Structure 1
């Protein structure tokens, strides 16, 4: 294969993947057909199968591309914050924006396990870094907290219609994204529980576990 032919082949693959992410996001995996994806990408259905083998193979390639983007954004954000460039957070949100619908639909369908797991893995170092400045030791392992943080963050996309209705603006619009960012910053910068209240609640949980039939048998 010549250099130009190889480049054209890679371009076609990228167009197919982009079209697939669009249709998987808009229609869902089951309703999106390879024929329509191929038509949007400007290629034949045969070329789609040549590159990806099957619709499932195509979705796995979409997940792999999304994971690659997530890693790049995570690395760029860490580097930007380390250099004092706070706008790196806004740039990261903008970079991931085009993939919101694809990821949201996949999560609602019970898929996207690989991107979810990667987000959890990448969140752990952020939490461990934050733990260094905590006045109290974490109550649970960092991976558990990372999974919960990831789930809460992604739930905004899954529930975007309801959140948009409550906010009075499309959460995926530029105005909605700015309002969402402001709201999240306000929430995360003001704890809802004091350390004293949290300690009392955790102590009550420990006591309940100790006195439960299951706890007594252990």
Structure 2
């Protein structure tokens, strides 16, 4: 059985890895560096996680847990992929951005998990009346997640355009995330001309 200190050390190691992996990338971070950041020995890192890849998987699992509402909150303001990431802090957001840009199987699984969780959340919203139904619920969930996560991948460019020093700081995060939610809540177009044009193109292609 693990002691409380073992559990605390495990979480401290994971959090150190989240921060370093997010800031520098998995390939550039050593187990020794993670151990130093966490204030433990490299042997203890290996004891808890087996390897750096095992530690990375633990980081992925933790982020998925947060997206699933692991923080305990469960109302509209705690939308998966949004409030959980905001409350988790900059290291988790940086880690998520880096994991998605890496394009590894672990990152792909992570993205799929987030889309699946968000899809269920939106389905609940349709049933409860705070979300509109969609002709393609799976595509909508995927696009929703992609839009919310895109700022993390384009951080350098957004920092320049928005004139902020660090996109992961809370004020900047609230600014760009609110803009995204405003688009989803109120829309951009005042009428359906753009949607009608898209439908016309799709109809024409089916008739060929």
TM-score tier after normalising by the smaller chain length: 0.7 to 0.9
Counterpart residue number, 1:156: 151
Which residue does the alignment assign to 2:139?
A: 144
Q: Which moved more, 1:25-34 or 1:198-207?
A: 198-207
Whether 2:95 is the aligned partner of 1:102: answer yes
For residue 72 of structure 1, give the secondary structure of its aligned residue in structure 2: coil
Quote the Cα distance in structure 2 between the aligned partners of 1:164 and 1:73.
Answer: 30
Q: What is the TM-score with the length of structure 2 in the denominator? A: 0.82
User: Who is 1:179 aligned against?
Assistant: 175
Unmatched tracts of structure 1, length 5 or more: 212-218
CA distance in 1, matches of 2:50, 2:36: 17
Q: Alignment length, in residue pairs?
A: 200
**Superposition pairs of residues 15-164 of structure 1, within 5 angstroms:** 15-72=12-69, 76-78=73-75, 81=76, 92=84, 94-98=86-90, 99-111=92-104, 112-131=107-126, 138-140=134-136, 142-164=137-159
**1:172-211 matches, cutoff 5 A:** 172-193=168-189, 194-195=191-192, 197-211=194-208
Please tell me the root mean square deviation across aligned C-alpha atoms, in Å. 2.8
SS of the residue corresponding to residue 69 of structure 2 reads: helix
Q: Structure 2 CA distance, aligned partners of 1:35 and 1:160?
A: 28
Q: Is the 8 A contact 2:49 2:55 kept in 1?
A: yes
Q: Deviations over 1:179-211 (max 9, x none)?
A: 224422332233234345413421321312431
Change beyond 3 A, Cα 1:166–1:196: closer
Contact 2:86 2:173 in 1 (8 A): no
Report the 3-state secondary structure (helix = DSSP H, G, I; strand = E; otherwise coil) of the residue aligned with 1:139: coil
- TM-score of the aligned structures, taking structure 1 as reference length: 0.79
SS of residue paired to 1:138: coil
String of CA shifts for 1:25-57, please: whole Å, max 9, x gaps.
111010100011111112221221111111111
**For the structure 1 residues 207 and 91, does the alpha-carbon distance in structure 2 shift closer, same or farther, using more than 3 Å as the test?**
closer
Q: Which has the larger radius of gyration?
A: 1
- Pick closer, same or farther for the CA change 1:13–1:56 going to 2, 3 Å: same
Kindly indicate whether structure 1 or structure 2 has the higher relative contact order, using CA contacts under 8 Å at least 6 residues apart.
2
**Cα deviation, residue 129, structure 1:** 4.2
